[in-house]
Chains A and B, each alone.
Chain A
């Protein structure tokens, strides 16, 4: 069974608009972490934001915020005021503390294109 699911293979957004990238997950581990990474065409993995399963508030990092809905098992990434440089692949990932020994498992990814 897929543990991390990103259902949007590709997304388009107008420059300066906000965009939401979807991510749902499945785990029975009470302690887990959710990550979002950006991967430009160069291939490097750029860490964007982290949400712990016990965190009470949604994580925010500059223009990035994570809409964490624990009961629905979703961890959507919101990018505000999109910029042309935001065009890239975006991956959601989960780390389970007990079930998988802390391995980072990735979703399928969403390719975001920002239009001028």
Chain B
């Protein structure tokens, strides 16, 4: 299957700082990427959908100014958690697809800890 690479896999940051998470499609052009957040023992909650070259569409209740998403190319989307707080500590995972009719492939996920 297609490969989606997410980096970093783990990150610890201080409260008040920002952290950037990258999601790359390695062998296909991802017109759409999705960002999910997952708390322990819970489901994946969709945060936003990003289409290459346009603004991301955020799900209800997700602060767009806190979770900045950029999808500047067909192979890269980034999620920046701004002014991170301990409650932002979570598992963040991206998925990417080539078109609406194709399968979405997942990155490995990023475990964020804010101290």
Contact = CB atoms under 8 A, between A and B. Distances in A.
Interface of A: 43-45, 47, 50, 89, 91, 95, 97, 101-109, 111
Contacts of B34: 103-104
A102 B32 contact: yes
B100 A97 contact: yes
A82 to B, nearest CB: 21
A47 B38 CA distance: 17
Given A45-B106, A101-B100, A111 B95 contact: no
Interface residues of B, number: 24
Nearest to A111: B41
Contacts of B46: 103-105
A105 B105 CA distance: 14
B95 A108 contact: no
A44 B43 contact: no
List the 4 closest pairs (A to B, CB-CB), nearest first. A45-B106, A102-B100, A43-B109, A106-B44
B91 A50 contact: no
Given A102-B100, A104-B104, A45 B93 contact: yes
B60 interface: no
B93 A50 contact: no
A44 B106 contact: yes
A47 B103 CA distance: 10
A43 B93 contact: yes
Contacts of A47: 1, 103, 105-106
